[in-house]
Amino acid sequence: MNLLLEKIKNEGIVLSETVLKVDSFLNHQVDPELMLEIGKEFAERFKDHGVTKVLTIESSGIAPGVMAALQMNVPLIFARKRKSLTLSEDILTSKVYSYTKQEENTISISNKYIQESDRVLLVDDFLANGQAALGLVDLVKQAGAEVAGIGIVIEKSFQDGGNLVRATGYKVESLAEIGSLENGEVQFRKEEARV
Ligand code: G4P
Render pLDDT for 132-168 as a digit per residue (tens, 0 to 9): 999 999 999 999 999 999 999 999 999 999 999 999 9
Q: Which domain does 173 fall in, by range?
A: 34-177
149 within ligand 1 shell (Cβ under 6 A) = no
Is residue 137 assigned to a domain? yes
22 within ligand 1 shell (Cβ under 6 A) = yes
Is residue 5 assigned to a domain? no
Is the pLDDT at 193 greater than 70? The verdict is no
Which range is least confidently modeled, 51-55, 89-93, 125-129, 142-146?
89-93
Is the pLDDT at 194 greater than 90? The verdict is no
Please tell me the residue having the least CA distance from ligand 1 atom 15.
Answer: 126
- For 61-66, what is the mean pLDDT? 98
Distances (CA, A) of 13 to 21, 48, 114: 5, 36, 37
Is residue 189 assigned to a domain? no
Question: What single-letter amino acid sits at 58?
Answer: E
Domain count, the chain: 1
Is residue 28 assigned to a domain? no
Please tell me the residue having the least CA distance from ligand 1 atom 23.
Answer: 19
Is residue 25 assigned to a domain? no
Is residue 168 assigned to a domain? yes
User: 191: pLDDT confidence band, cut at 50, 70 and 90?
Assistant: low
128 within ligand 1 shell (Cβ under 6 A) = yes
Q: Which helix (H) or strand (E) holds 76?
A: strand 76-79
Q: Which helix (H) or strand (E) holds 122?
A: strand 119-127
Is residue 26 assigned to a domain? no
Measured in Å, residue 61 CA sits from the centre of ligand 1 at 10
Is residue 21 assigned to a domain? no
What count of Cα atoms within 13 Å lies in the side-chain half-sphere of residue 154? 29
User: 76: pLDDT confidence band, cut at 50, 70 and 90?
Assistant: very high
Distance CA 31, CA 15 (A): 21
Distance CA 60, CA 65 (A): 9
Please tell me the residue having the least CA distance from ligand 1 atom 24.
Answer: 20
Residue 91's beta-bridge partner residues?
110
What does pTM read for this prediction? 0.95
Q: Residue 128: its pLDDT value, please?
A: 96
Q: Residue 64: its pLDDT value, please?
A: 98
Q: Is the peptide bond before 59 cis (omega within 30 degrees of 0)?
A: yes
Question: What single-letter amino acid sits at 72?
Answer: M
Q: Residue 99: its pLDDT value, please?
A: 84
Residues in the chain: 195
CATH classification of the domain holding 148: 3.40.50.2020
